[in-house]
């Protein structure tokens, strides 16, 4: 559906996008990931025919953005970073205007307006001035605007930026809902968002393509030595973490044991094993044979955040708490 090849965009002094190539099959949601200023918006603007690339080609829905921009524009719905809204218009009036711009008219336009209002949950603000709407509603009107002409491809630039957690969840669900009938490319710098909504990730940094793969593969790829989380419980509530730690360290193949958390009678450890050695069985045996309870034993999946930092070559900041689902930003 989207086919980008060697795309480059050069401004006067900087290169915003540097020879990026990727493909998006029909019906998929692709996350476009990168820190601020990585070239996400520029790439999206090229895909939506807002600006031409300096070199390289981009095909959207089978048409080249340089050769046949009109055909591309008919098939793309675009939600820019700030939703393009006219505050002096009412919601329904605005959607009608956008629909007309995209070439709809008459009964079909009316049907689409009703449909997108329903879909994006803006029915109750249909007769309200957009200038008076809350941020969440504005975002949803922006989304409604993007899908009004039932485009093949949806380009969403940071669709959840500036929303509260509840609105973020609603927006994500809506986007997931839209996949299948539309091919979606969405940009974000919020990592959990990609893990939750996207099937495929394109990571760019400083205009260069860093990685493009499925979310699962990326996580697996970045996981080097196996890392295991284990929770041990004590027989009578007086578990000594230090003695457990010593015991675990003595298991062959274990390179490092870290006590992450200790509450009365229970302790959580993170264990790193040497590469290529399976230590789970030995660990379990060691715990049980010493008379403790083995409450939990699982591989610690690497979060996309760690993958991302690894790929973009940054130092990982020490997380203060468990990463908050929505707030972990780069």
Partner 1 sequence: MRNVWIICSKELRSYFTSPVAYVLLTLWGVVFGYFFWAELGVFLKYSMESQMSGQMYPMNLNEQVIRPLLQNVAVIGLFFLPMITMRLFAEEKRSGTIELLVTSPIRDSEIIVGKWLAAMLLYCCLLLFTVVHFLFLFKYGNPDWKPILIAYLGLLLEAGAMLAIGTFISSLTKNQIIAGASTFAILILLWVLAWSDFSNTGWSHVLSYMSLVTHSESFMRGVIDLKDGIYYATLIFLGLFFTARSMESLRWRS
- Could you tell me which residues come within 8 angstroms of residue 113 by beta carbon, excluding any fewer than 6 positions away? 92, 95, 96, 99, 148
CB of 48 to partner 1, least distance (A): 5
CB of 31 to partner 1, least distance (A): 21
CB nearer to partner 1: pick between 149 and 172: 149
CB of 59 to partner 1, least distance (A): 17
DSSP symbol at 292: -
- Please report, as ranges, the residues that interact with partner 1 according to CB under 8 A: 11, 45, 48-52, 70, 73-74, 76, 78, 80-82, 84-89, 93, 97-98, 100-103, 145
CB 17 within 8 A of CB 46: yes
Q: What DSSP letter does each residue of 78-138 carry, written as one string?
A: EE-SS----TTSBHHHHHHHHHHHTT--HHHHHHHHHHHHHHTT-GGGTTSBGGGS-HHHH
CB of 89 to partner 1, least distance (A): 7
- Could you tell me how many residues make up the chain? 330
**What gap in Å lies between CA 217 and CA 110, rounded to an integer?**
44
CB nearer to partner 1: pick between 93 and 249: 93
**What gap in Å lies between CA 190 and CA 317, rounded to an integer?**
15
Q: What DSSP letter does each residue of 145-194 carry, written as one string?
A: HHHTT--SEEEEESTTTT--HHHHHHHHHHHHHHBTTBEEEEEESBHHHH
CB nearer to partner 1: pick between 30 and 49: 49
CB of 9 to partner 1, least distance (A): 10
DSSP, collapsed to helix, strand or coil, labels residue 220 as helix
**What gap in Å lies between CA 137 and CA 90, rounded to an integer?**
12
**What gap in Å lies between CA 56 and CA 48, rounded to an integer?**
15
CB nearer to partner 1: pick between 41 and 312: 41
Q: How does 308-327 read in b/e, with b if 16+ C-beta sit within 10 Å?
A: bbbbbeeeeeeeeeeeeebe
**What gap in Å lies between CA 262 and CA 38, rounded to an integer?**
41
CB of 32 to partner 1, least distance (A): 17
Token couple for 195: 């893990």
CB nearer to partner 1: pick between 9 and 266: 9
CB of 254 to partner 1, least distance (A): 55
CB nearer to partner 1: pick between 11 and 166: 11
CB of 217 to partner 1, least distance (A): 33
CB nearer to partner 1: pick between 44 and 203: 44
CB nearer to partner 1: pick between 145 and 183: 145
């Amino acid at each position: 559906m989207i086919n980008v090849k060697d795309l480059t965009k050069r401004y006067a002094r900087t290169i915003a996008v540097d020879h990026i190539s990727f493909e998006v099959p029909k019906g998929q949601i692709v996350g476009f990931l990168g820190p601020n200023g990585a070239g996400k918006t520029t790439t999206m603007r090229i895909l939506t025919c807002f600006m031409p690339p300096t070199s390289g080609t981009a095909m959207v829905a089978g048409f080249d953005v340089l050769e046949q921009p009109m055909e591309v524009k008919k098939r793309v719905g675009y939600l820019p970073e700030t939703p393009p809204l006219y505050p002096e218009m009412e919601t329904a009036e605005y959607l009608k205007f956008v629909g007309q711009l995209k070439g709809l008219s008459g009964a079909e336009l009316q049907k689409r307006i009703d449909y997108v209002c329903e879909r994006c949950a803006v029915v109750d603000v249909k007769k309200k001035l957009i200038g008076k709407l809350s941020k969440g509603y504005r975002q949803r009107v922006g989304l409604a605007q993007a899908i009004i002409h039932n485009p093949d491809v949806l380009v969403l630039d940071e669709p959840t930026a500036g929303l509260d957690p509840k609105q973020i969840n609603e927006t994500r669900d809506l986007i997931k809902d839209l996949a299948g009938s539309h091919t979606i490319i969405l940009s974000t710098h919020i990592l959990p968002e990609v893990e939750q909504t996207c099937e495929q990730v394109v990571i760019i940094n400083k205009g260069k393509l860093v990685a493009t793969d499925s979310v699962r593969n990326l996580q697996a790829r970045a996981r080097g030595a196996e890392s295991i989380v284990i929770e041990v419980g004590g027989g009578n509530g007086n578990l000594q973490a230090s003695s457990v730690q010593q015991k675990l360290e003595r298991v062959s193949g274990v390179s490092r044991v870290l006590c992450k958390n200790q509450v009365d009678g229970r302790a959580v450890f993170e264990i790193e094993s040497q590469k290529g050695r399976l230590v789970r069985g030995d660990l379990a045996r060691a715990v049980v044979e010493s008379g403790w309870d083995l409450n939990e034993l699982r591989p610690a999946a690497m979060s996309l955040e760690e993958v991302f930092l690894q790929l973009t070559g940054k130092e990982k900041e020490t997380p203060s708490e468990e990463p908050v689902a929505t707030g972990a930003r780069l």
